[in-house]
Amino acid sequence: MTNERILGVLGGMGPLASAQFMLRLTLLTPAERDQDHIPAVLWSDPRVPDRTRGKLSGGEDPLPWLLRGIDGLKAAGSGAIAVPCNTAHGWYEEMAARAGMPVLHIVDAAAADLRRQSVPACRIGLMGTQATLNMRLYQDRLERQGWECLTPTQEEMDRLVSPSIALVKANRVGEAYEPLAGVVRTLAARGAGAVVLGCTEIPLGIQAGPYASLDIKLVDSIDALARAAIEWARS
């Protein structure tokens, strides 16, 4: 797959998730030699202000930083942009308008992965940052396509999910597995037929333990976005 199309990656939110995206983009690409892979430029800027605080509690607006990254990726010759941060998609319209090129939407990528895994229209679990859930980034888009989203309780968010995301950002990835896995199990017990890991730190925490033992289909938003990028590059 000799490819001239350059993928821009707006990352750093967090840095480990961006690095994992680049790894998965490489591993999921059908290739037999270096030249078969997708040319990509990673803009990894961890100085972008916290997206959840920016949306929920009057924190510094991350949009100027996001647009700065978009401009850098445009200057580097990108033909499309992937953003391996779910909460940053709260500023999707502004980023897409600035880009003037395709910006791959991570929720659409997750929907495509649900279809790839043959998850029918049913109840599914959804995990993400508090801001992602409050903005209904996933719920509105997925429910229009027939999936009903079950989310963790507020107590689970405060005690398990949000602290686990913080653990991954602090490079304490192994400590995040058990609380995140517990929430996956609870969502499954509530009737979820699959669980969407709608924060790019959550798959890292889940994969730090025996995630296959969870016995439920998982949508890794990092992998889903990587597959969407590969589809764009090959189209």
Tens of pLDDT, residue by residue over 17-48, are 999 999 999 999 999 999 999 999 999 999 99
Domain 107-220 of CATH type 3.10.150.10: no
Q: Could you tell me the pLDDT band of residue 4, with boundaries at 50, 70 and 90? A: low
Task: State percent of the chain over pLDDT 90.
Answer: 97
**Domain ranges, ordered by start, for the chain:** 7-105+223-234, 107-220
- Asked if 125 contacts 192 with a C-beta cutoff of 8 angstroms, the reply is yes
3-state secondary structure of 42: strand
Q: What is the pTM of this model?
A: 0.96
| Fold of the CATH domain 7-105+223-234 | Rossmann fold (3.40.50)
Of 91, 83, 147, 82, the closest CA to residue 119 belongs to: 147
**pLDDT at position 2:** 41
| Mean pLDDT estimate for the chain | 96
DSSP character for 144?
A: T
